[in-house]
Amino acid sequence: MKFVDQVKVQLRAGKGGNGCASFRREKFIPRGGPNGGNGGDGGDIWFRGDPGKATLLDFQFRQHFRAPDGEAGKGKDMHGRNGAPLTIAVPLGTLVRDADSGELLCEILTTEPVRCLRGGRGGRGNVAFKSSTHRVPREFEEGHPGEERWVTLELKLMADVGLVGFPNVGKSTLIGRVSKAHPKVADYPFTTLVPNLGVVQTEDFQSFVMADIPGIIRGAHAGAGLGHRFLRHVERTAVLLLLVELAGLAGRDAYGEYEVLLEEMALFSPLLPAKPRLVALTKADAADDPAAVAALRQRLEAAGERVLVISAVSGAGMAELVRELGARVRAVREAATRDVPAAPSTPGS
């Protein structure tokens, strides 16, 4: 399935129905008076999170969404039927922005529907204009148009752990090792083009979602490489796992790569470096200079990082890594539960 995380669509809420100008005409009732009903309201447009969706691919084949209009009012004081609301299912974590101004209209984080556009109000029939001094009103109102705009749907994956690292650092191999995800891996250099999600099971039978995000390079905050497409997805993760490769350590500035990762995240959003994180030194099975590995680990720990040395190929250090990540995710979830405000008491209770 093709992964699509940003699309542009047109939304049009329903138009309100016209009011009716009508008079009661029956035998033996010469002055029946006005009886034109109001028009129905146009349908609203709602968005609802669907846990079964993981991409915005459907919206590449349908870009125009229109809610039903309200029906016109009729004689005999009959009001028009309201237009049915249009509910659009999107993946959890979708942001809806105005395509012109970039204004955030709504954010879909749960399965609870969120109204995005309001339908037009139905016009009043002539019975609404009747008064003691205006006995025979012939005026009525036309229905009001509903809200209409082009919007951008932007998907930010909702995962517990996000893998952050340069291309070919071993992110896909790692997520394939600790979960049942099957990302593409090979023995030649390439970069992941779309995020992969995997469910990781811990020793205490808890689970968390890990996201394998496309690799980051210098300048990613400004759009270099996959740029914002990477960093946008990292924003929602609860815990970050920074990966630094140990293979070929002698000819690389591994600590400089670590600093680039922090710098790019900070330039994109100051919230990213503040997230809980671990640093994993990957491809330990291919490291050929133990002294350089020890020096790099010592330098990272001196910078305040919790560092683990792992190999997704041999499995070395993987159990400890999953245990550490599970503990961090659990701590974030417990903190979020404590921060949820208590429900207000019912009046009179």
Q: Is it the case that residue 14 has pLDDT exceeding 70?
A: yes
Residue 218's pLDDT is 60
Tell me the domains of the chain and their CATH numbers: 1-155 (2.70.210.12), 161-339 (3.40.50.300)
Q: Residue 50 and residue 105: Cα distance in Å, rounded?
A: 18
pLDDT tens digit string along 86-119? 999 998 888 899 999 989 998 898 889 999 999 9
Average pLDDT over residues 34-59: 89
The answer to whether residues 6 and 152 touch, using CB atoms and an 8 Å cutoff, is yes
In the chain, % of residues over pLDDT 90: 36
Q: Provide the token pair at 41.
A: 């309201």
* CA nearest neighbour of 199 among 217, 211, 214, 216: 211
Average pLDDT over residues 290-319: 90
Q: Residue 298 and residue 166: Cα distance in Å, rounded?
A: 21
pLDDT tens digit string along 48-89? 998 877 778 889 888 999 999 999 999 999 999 999 999 999
pLDDT tens digit string along 117-160? 999 999 999 999 999 889 889 999 999 999 999 999 988 776 78
Query: DSSP assignment of 225-286, as one string?
Result: TTTHHHHHHHTT-SEEEEEEE-TTGGGS-HHHHHHHHHHHHHHH-TTSTTS-EEEEEE-GGG
Q: Residue 336 and residue 209: Cα distance in Å, rounded?
A: 17
When the pLDDT of each residue in the chain is averaged and rounded to a whole number, the result is 82
Count of CB atoms situated within 10 Å of the CB of 187 = 4
| More confident site: 109 or 229 | 109
Average pLDDT over residues 181-206: 60
Count of CB atoms situated within 10 Å of the CB of 334 = 10
